[in-house]
Amino acid sequence: MNAPLLHTPLHDLHLSLGGRMVPFAGYQMPVQYRAGVMAEHQHTRAAAGLFDVSHMGQIRLRARSGRVEDAALALERLVPADMLSLKPGRQRYALLTDPQGGIIDDLMVSRLDDWLLLVVNAACKEGDLAHIVAGVQDACTIEAMPDRALIAVQGPAAGAALAGLAPRAADMRFMDVAEFDVAGVPCIASRSGYTGEDGFELGMPSDGAVRVAEALLAQPGVAPAGLGARDSLRLEAGLCLYGSDIDRTTSPVEAALDWSIQKSRRTGGARAGGFPGAETVLAQLRDGTSRRRVGIAAGGRAPVRGG
């Protein structure tokens, strides 16, 4: 029998806003609201869209030594990105690779004071957690955080909307991470996003998610947006979706994500290689590949479809 679909902490709010719910990565999620996907896409480009991404996995990584640098070095066993140079209050995009150089998942890594926060894709989070535990448990304690919600507010009006509730947000730069209260709820905020627009992600205890979402929706220019607009926005911005554009059959170089491999991890760098599939990936960086992900500009009015 199929397992029943899970609900995020915002499930009832989605229903009250007219969200059309569909199965996604084991959850019931809103694919769109009453306005429709195109209207939500355009509104996010013009003002701000609020997305529920609580289905994604949040993982805390803490070094057994107590030194966050040791957690960063341990994580470098699993990803080709430079984690050691990540400064406190900053975030970096990274890839989990397999022994063949394929991509297990893509993730965001944030450095807090004495620990690392990993945000992984919903469909991969159980496998990612097992992979991370197997790879770094000798050096780190690894804690899944299923009691956390995650909300993204994206678009040119996102900064003003969040700053209206938390003035400290106005001082954040792209890829900054900070901790502050929003509507009385303690949040871990990052300024990034997967739409190509300015935006923020807010992680918080699940019991505060509705309060934060309703406070943001009450700000000028903020409207709810579903999975449909989330996908069309990231596609328009040329951002990868795991399982669609990247998976274990694509390497970071084939996926045109070699920008996520910093100089220190490349041949001749201070900590070259040392991640799964390094021999393949470093050879592709040197010699090139027979295939490469490219962008295609759509002509006419027909929407772009998968495949």
Q: Is 126 annotated as a binding residue?
A: no
Task: Summarize pLDDT for 108-153 with one digit per residue, the tens.
Answer: 999 999 999 999 999 999 999 999 999 999 999 999 999 999 999 9
Domains of the chain and CATH, by start: 35-54+147-237 (3.30.1360.120), 57-144 (3.30.70.1400)
**Quick one: tokens of 71?**
């957690």
pLDDT at 171: 97
Model confidence at 10, in pLDDT bands (50, 70, 90)?
very high
- 210 class by beta-carbon count within 10 Å (0-12 exposed, 13-18 middle, 19+ buried): middle
Task: Summarize pLDDT for 24-74 with one digit per residue, the tens.
Answer: 999 999 999 999 999 999 999 999 999 999 999 999 999 999 999 999 999
- Mean pLDDT (the chain) is 96
| Nearest one of 169, 151, 130, 150 to 224, comparing CA atoms | 151
Model confidence at 195, in pLDDT bands (50, 70, 90)?
very high
Those residues whose C-beta lies under 8 Å from the C-beta of residue 61, and which sit 6 or more positions away, are 71, 74, 75, 115, 116, 117, 118, 132, 136, 140, 141, 142
Tokens 């197997």 found at: 134
255 φ/ψ sector (left φ>0, alpha ψ -120 to 50, else beta):
alpha
User: What is the rounded CA–CA span in Å between residue 80 and residue 282?
Assistant: 10
Tokens 């996520």 found at: 260
